[in-house]
Amino acid sequence: MKILTPSQLHKADQYTIEHQKISSWELMERASLAAVEKIKAILKAPKPVTVLAGSGNNGGDGLAIAFHLDQLGYEVEVLVLKYTTEYSKDCKINFDRLQAKTEIKVEEFTEDSNIESLNFKPVIIDAVFGIGLNRALPEFVEKVIKKANHAQALRIAIDVPSGLFLSKLTPPQSIVFEADYTLTFQCPKLNFFLPDYGNALGKIQVIDIGLDKSFINKLDSDFEFVNKKYIDGFYKVRHRFSHKGDYGHLLVAGGQYGIMGSVSLTAKAALKSGVGKVTVLSPQCGVEILQHSVPEAMVIPSDDIEQVSPKHLNFKPSNICIGMGLGQSKLAVKSLTYFIRLSKQPILIDADGLNILSKNKNLFEDLPDQSILTPHQGELKRLIGEWGDQYDKLDKMKKFSRQYNIILVSKDAYTFTVYDDQVYINSTGNSGLATAGSGDALAGIISSFLCQNYSPLESSILGVYIHGKAADFYTTSNSELSLTASDVINCLGKTL
């Protein structure tokens, strides 16, 4: 799903209005009715609602939502935060409709209003600002939002949590509506996925309001929101008449004394993601552990008891995955160098392998094209250097990926896969993934798809997607904090 900018969305609005021969008010009504359906599903039963409405079209949405909730028997009150002298055309239509057709109490708030008397119902709907916010919130609006954020209420933002900027980064310490749910129209917005105010979004639900698809398809965007529809576009169905040779042979190289679980998780995750065969190059101390923990994997003992060492292989791996538990000793550096130079296919480098790369940048020249690096944020900083703000970080990631022709999987609350100036933002996963071994499992999953003839970019996008999907499956019946990397692996079979 393309991630569009506010100006692209405005253009799509206009095009749709002209080509579907509808009025802007009808488009607003369509959007608002769709939002009401989502609100009903979230609330499950009517609850008293306070609608905070602005005087622009986001406010117009809010007034339409108030009207339709009232028609459904909800107890609704409306607070209009009149931050412009005039209502937008469509907002005014909805304002007049409320006055004419309902008994709803509509209170107009301006900068001279007394905020102390303000109370909220158990559900607060934020329709104050949407994609049109272009400067700091008026002070009186800030005060109302701050009070709403402290109220004992369920908070639902319409289109964008008010106070969040979309066309630039929101200044630190800004007041932003802290939504439990954000119901956003047509596509998510890039700033939703940046850590600065990412927690203000709550659960994001995208509402397709029928903007003209042919127009949207022609729009350029560097950002793709990866959902199931996107995955279905390249996911391969297996054929009955196939054999394990069709699904590749992965070499996993890593582990050291006391950290054998890392490669065990990687090997298991690779097997649970469909690779044909896995061989682990393991320190001698880990051979028995691996034979017990992952009987489906073959094991080659390193020449060293406690660490991996360069090793002549008696088979040609389809792809190599290296780094987890590798350590950063001289021998580890030698091993990484050896396998980077041995591999003619894209190689996946994770964990200590990345830290070694950061300290031996000469190795980048030897990386096969479209190799995959899977750093968490600390490892990313060591790879690409410190960044200023989040936009600077995005630029640095794109530049790094282009400079070395590699796929960069930046693991975070929303994992960004970066290649060829495109950024693929994953839609699955949850906070439970912030747990030991989660990255080892991801490395195995992505490597597994590499061996199954997905392109390195597809392998990365698909691997990140099902890694998060497995975590989401687990947390449908378990808490996020109880999630372990083994749970992710055990749930992989539930993902596609």
- For ligand LP7C6HRI, the binding residue among 76, 130, 178, 255 (CB under 6 A) is 130
Is residue 411 a known part of a binding site?
Answer: yes
8 A C-beta contact, residue 102 and residue 69: no
Asked if 148 interacts with ligand LP7C6HRI (CB under 6 A), we say no
Q: Which does 51 bind (CB under 5 to 8 A by kind): K ion, ligand LP7C6HRI, none?
A: none
Query: Is residue 352 close enough to count as binding ligand LP7C6HRI by CB under 6 A?
Result: no
3-state secondary structure of 494: helix
- CB 380 → ligand LP7C6HRI: shortest distance, Å? 32
Amino acid at 441: A
Piece of the chain touching ligand LP7C6HRI by CB under 6 A; list 59-67, 172-180, 319-327, 463-471: 59-67
Determine if 13 is a binding residue for ligand LP7C6HRI (CB under 6 A): yes
Nearer to ligand LP7C6HRI, 125 or 285 (CB): 125
Listed residue (332, 296, 335, 294) closest to 313, CA to CA: 335
Residue with structure tokens 């489906």? 296
Q: For residues 463 and 467, what is the distance between their CA atoms, to the nearest angstrom?
A: 6
DSSP H helices, 350-454, are: 352-359, 377-384, 390-404, 438-451
Helix axes 352-359, 377-384, angle to 10 degrees: 20
Quick one: how far is CA 195 from the chain centroid?
A: 11
DSSP 3-state assignment of 190? Answer: helix
129 binds ligand LP7C6HRI (CB under 6 A): yes
Asked if 132 touches ligand LP7C6HRI (CB under 6 A), the answer is yes
Neighbours of 358 (CB within 10 A): 18
Pattern 434-473, binding to K ion, x per CB under 5 A? ----------------------------------------
- Give the residue from 171, 176, 146, 145 showing the smallest Cα distance to 160: 176
The closest of 189, 135, 186 to 163, measured between CA atoms, is 135
Q: Which residues contact 431 (CB under 8 A, 6 or more apart)?
A: 413, 480, 481
Instruction: Annotate each residue in 164-193 with x if it binds ligand LP7C6HRI (CB under 6 A) or - if it does not, as one string.
Output: ---------------------xx-------
The pattern of x and - marking residues 204 through 243 that bind ligand LP7C6HRI according to CB under 6 A reads -----x-x--------------------------------
Nearest to ligand LP7C6HRI of 125, 491 (CB atom) = 125
| CA 316-320-321 angle, 5° bins | 155
Residue 126 binds which of ligand LP7C6HRI, K ion, none (CB < 5-8 A, kind-dependent)? K ion
In 3D, which of 393, 43, 408 has the Cα closest to residue 193? 393
Residue 58, marked binder: yes
Q: Which one of K ion, ligand LP7C6HRI, none interacts with residue 260, CB within 5 to 8 A by kind?
A: none
Q: Count Cα atoms within 13 angstroms, Cβ side, for 313.
A: 23
Residue 453's φ and ψ, nearest 5 degrees, are 65, 25
Q: Which is nearer to ligand LP7C6HRI, 35 or 491 (CB)?
A: 35
Q: Considering the complex, state which of residue 223 and residue 404 has its C-beta at the smaller distance from ligand LP7C6HRI.
A: 223
Residue 162 touches which of ligand LP7C6HRI, K ion, none (CB < 5 to 8 A by kind)? K ion
Q: How far apart are CA 203 and CA 180, in angstroms?
A: 6
- 255 conformational bin, left if phi > 0, alpha if psi -120 to 50, beta if neither: left
Residue pair 425/416 in contact (Cβ under 8 Å)? The answer is yes
User: Taking the alpha carbons of 65, 67, 71, 74 in that order, is the dihedral positive or negative?
Assistant: positive
Q: Does 57 bind ligand LP7C6HRI (CB under 6 A)?
A: yes
Contact stretch for ligand LP7C6HRI (CB under 6 A) within 131-139, 253-261, 373-381, 469-477: 131-139
DSSP tag of 134: -
Q: Which of 163, 156, 219 lies closest to 187 in space, CA to CA?
A: 219
Residues 21-40 that bind ligand LP7C6HRI (CB under 6 A): 27-28, 31
Q: Count the site residues for ligand LP7C6HRI by CB under 6 A.
A: 32
Is 126 a binding residue for K ion by CB under 5 A? The answer is yes
85 binds ligand LP7C6HRI (CB under 6 A): no
Element at 337 (helix H, strand E): helix 330-342
Q: Does 65 bind ligand LP7C6HRI (CB under 6 A)?
A: no
Q: Give the residues lining the site for K ion (CB under 5 A).
A: 126, 157-158, 162
Enumerate the known binding-site residues for K(+).
58, 126, 162
Enumerate the known binding-site residues for (6S)-NADPHX.
57-61, 130-136, 159, 325, 376, 440
Q: Give the residues lining the site for ligand LP7C6HRI (CB under 6 A).
A: 9, 13, 27-28, 31, 54, 56-61, 83-84, 88, 129-138, 158-160, 185-186, 209, 211
